Structure 1
Amino acid sequence: MRIPLRDTVAVAAGVLAPLVAALVLLPLRTSVTHTNLALLLVVVVVAVSALGNRFAGALAALSAAAWFDFFHTEPYQSFHIQDRADVETAVLLLVVGSVVSQLAAYGRTMKRVAVTDATHLERLHGTTRLARSSTSSGDVVRRVREELVEVLELRTCRFEYGTLMGRPPRLDPDGTVKVDGWIWDLERQGWPEGETELRALAHGRYQGRFMMTPEPGSVPAPLEARLVAADLAAQAAAALDDDSVSAGRRS
């Protein structure tokens, strides 16, 4: 599975940013207390954590403590520390950097979750409003197809009317993916090869299916996004079911 570019950059920054900061602070090591230098390095750790992830933050804390030891404690250019106060400062830098980095990453995660939840809710509400106001189920199907591309980060998505053909991988309403009747480890293995179907069912009646093609090597959408996708498909199915019921009444 392809690692997101942002995570790769964050990990690289976790290793290199504290090193660069320690080098920049070299002219100050004789005029600024070691405690203040350590606090400046903590700022770098927080910045990496806010822009990256928890692993990058923890790596940055470890890197900051190591380069603080190497460049700013005697003997210089050595990972050996002579002064007990410097040992305590280095340990505190590691501990505080680790804790603060996790808090920063947690705050960033919560913000992302809140924004994502609001976006998902708007997708569902928008599709519901269209289903209520539109006289064409085709408009609802088209809207759902476009929303699925966005929420699951797909390359393409098409809708098939009619009977089921073949046994492609299937995204179920509970957010799991099944291949040949077995639950596919989506988080570890990524999307199955080829198209994955998402069936549109309303009142137990099959109306069709969305055939979804993910971007090659893309990271699968989280469970919350897959559940939203299933709800969107159910709305399309309900619109199609209403059309078929109305057609039956007219006939």
Structure 2
Amino acid sequence: MSGYRLHDGAALLAALVVPFLVALALVPFRTGLSATNEALIVVVAVVAVAACGTRAAGALAALSAAAWYDFFLTRPYERFAIAEGDAVQTAVLLLVVGLIVSQLAVHARRLRTVVVSDSAYLSGLQATARLAEGGGSAQEVVERVRRELVALLELRSCRFEYGALLGHLPRLEHDGGVWLRRGTRITQYAEWPEGETELRITGGGHYYGRFLLGPGTGRPLPPEQARLVAVALAAQAGAALDTAGLSRRG
């Protein structure tokens, strides 16, 4: 998670600095450029920050852009004051357009991330299916799924355990939730619980074993879609074991 905090901090810093630098660079040309052209150039800086940052960074960039546009590019120069009515309108429009465009840019970036994630999930499922259909042994399919789970769920460890259930562990269920059932008490987790979490493997209605997931205590759960893909991968392993006709236990 520290990587995300560093990225967010860098994005917020860029939201303050980039519009300032762009407005400063326009100072030698402020008498030759129209107010509209100056505003458009500053908006480009807002979009650039928003495309790489967060919604908060995009909003901050829009505010920063409006402030530095006022300071450097409207009369009286080098003061946070605007003497001309047209300049006031331009500054307000710059702020409004900057806010709107920055939010659209962030939304578009997130959509691209979703598309990339969906493609990666589909690729993992297809690769496992091709291995099973191409005559790969059940053990090879199980190992392939184990490696996919490590990458998909960002696990520190993952192992497959054949046979009878030992212990009473939290479980990654078919709905993508992580639950622990103790009698009538049911606990649902929003982050990985302490220790290992099990993902049970069945095929043809028979229990074959489980993957024991070791993500690290206190880490947030991966996106629901990733957890559902993990369940689908486990089902492929169960189908391979059932097709192989291995001893059915449980």
**Which TM bucket (shorter chain)?**
0.7 to 0.9
1:178 and 2:179 matched: yes
One-letter amino acid of the structure 1 residue matched with residue 202 of structure 2: L
State TM-score, norm by structure 2. 0.85
Question: Which residue of the partner structure matches residue 54 of structure 1?
Answer: 55
C-alpha distance in structure 2 between counterparts of 1:37 and 1:74, whole Å: 14
Q: Report the CA distance between 1:121 and its aligned residue.
A: 1.3
In structure 2, the residue corresponding to 1:74 is in which secondary structure? coil
Match of 1:13 in 2: 14
Between Structure 1 and Structure 2, how many residues are aligned? Answer: 243
- In the TM superposition, what is the alpha-carbon distance from 1:46 to its structure 2 partner? 1.1
In structure 1, what is the equivalent of residue 160 of structure 2? 159
TM-score by length of 1: 0.85
Cα contact 1:45–1:101 (8 A) shared by 2: yes
Higher relative contact order, chain-length normalized (CA < 8 Å, sep 6+): 1
Question: Partners of 1:66 and 1:176 in 2: how far apart?
Answer: 46
Q: CA distance change for structure 1 residues 154 and 12 in 2, over 3 Å: closer, same or farther?
A: farther
1:207 to partner: Cα distance: 1.7
**Are positions 1:229 and 2:230 aligned together?**
yes
Contiguous gaps of at least 5 residues in structure 2: none
Cα 1:124–1:89, aligned 2, differ >3 Å: closer, same or farther? same
Question: How far apart are 1:135 and its partner, in Å?
Answer: 5.0
**How large is the Cα RMSD of the aligned pairs?**
2.4
Any conservation in 2 of the 1:200–1:208 contact (CA below 8 Å)? yes
Q: 1:199 to 1:7 in 2, by over 3 A?
A: farther
What SS does structure 1 have at the residue aligned with 2:156? strand
Instruction: Work out the CA distance in 1 between the residues paired with 2:30 and 2:104.
Output: 29
Task: Name stretches of at least 5 consecutive residues in structure 1 with no aligned partner.
Answer: none
Identity %: 53
> Within 2, Cα distance between the matches of 1:74 and 1:199?
70
Give the ranges of 4+ consecutive aligned residues of structure 1 lying more than 4 Å apart after TM superposition. Answer: 215-219
Provide the residue aligned with 2:141 in structure 1: 140
Residue identity matched to 1:184: Y
Shift of 1:151: 1.4
- Deviation, structure 1 residue 37: 1.6
1:49 and 1:102 in contact (8 A); partners too = yes
Residue type at the aligned position of 1:27: P
Report the equivalent of 1:214. Answer: 215
What's the secondary structure of 2:146's corresponding residue?
Answer: helix
